[in-house]
Amino acid sequence: MAAHSLKDFKQQFLEHLEIEKGRSVKTTENYDRYLTRFFNFAKIDDPKKLTDSAVREFRLWLNRQESGAGQGATLKKKTQNYYLIALRAFLKYLRKRGVESLQPEVIELAKTGDRDLDLMSHAELDRLLAAPREALKKAKNPEDELKALRDTAILELLFSTGMRVSELCSLKRDTDLDRGEFSIRGKGDKVRVVFVSPAALQTVNAYLKARKDMEDAMFVSHPGGNQQPRPLIPRAVERAVKSHAVSAGISRKVTPHVVRHSFATNLLENGADVRSVQALLGHANIATTQVYTHVTDKHLKEIHKAFHGRRKE
């Protein structure tokens, strides 16, 4: 029997995302949550009753929801847009199926301000990369030594390649880094090539050589005792990076994604074109990459320095 309710269509849409579109399970779960919240609010189960006014009422309700950050803070526009993006994708799916409903084009995203990048200075980046080496000098047992070697390799590899933390955690031990480049499968199941610096290659090889376990993940936990190492998960990498940032005396929030920002800005500051950086980061849309250009355009800085504030004699 053909499905007629929004609930049934939503389930088919989520399966379409995961199977045909190759979206991750996490992305599919997020879309499910966003759509379910809208349907529960609007109390609609018929595609024909999904109207512009129902969406507008939902947007007003969303805009007044507390974010959980305290002091009466409401949901950020960017977070609100996640709901609208999911709904728009769902409506496009309905139209493709020939189901009569609201046209996706009527849903416009909320205006958001320029993305505020939390960038490290060059000195902070140098201190962060050096922090695990300092930890290695102070290591008191084999497990601490392995962790320090591992974290040195992780930070060097993150900065060398610009990888996402999820991509780093998916690497296998037998990945061939010796050629100075290798392929990774990123968001949307897209494959791209990343490049390994001599420093990153040296530190990864030193770490792998020191390991005695048989785990096939490139980066693993080192719990000590009789416990077996397990593949690192993104949260564990985030904790390690945060710990070394604190040790390095960096007061700002530092995450693997901040290291990815540093990778991108370093390339642009040294003359790389934005299209090349887009390819290296694995961004589907160049607008995502262009967020870096306003903080790295040396030419504009030099123009400002040369001409701003000058007075005619």
Specify whether 261 is catalytic.
no
Specify whether 59 is catalytic.
no
Specify whether 304 is catalytic.
no
Active-site hit among 97, 187, 211, 230? 187
H-type alpha helices, 139-231: 142-161, 165-169, 198-210
**Cβ-contact 153, 206 below 8 angstroms:** yes
Active-site hit among 31, 93, 207, 292? 292
**Cβ-contact 168, 155 below 8 angstroms:** no
Specify whether 260 is catalytic.
yes
Q: How many CB atoms lie within 10 A of CB 263?
A: 21
Active-site hit among 88, 150, 260, 261? 260
Specify whether 207 is catalytic.
no
Measured between alpha carbons, how far is 152 from 270 in angstroms, rounded to an integer? 24
- Exposed, middle or buried by CB within 10 Å (0-12, 13-18, 19+), for 52? exposed
**Cβ-contact 71, 61 below 8 angstroms:** no
Cα 154 from chain centroid? 16
Active-site hit among 21, 133, 242, 257? 257
Active-site hit among 164, 222, 244, 261? 164
Specify whether 164 is catalytic.
yes
Active site residues: 164, 187, 257, 260, 283, 292
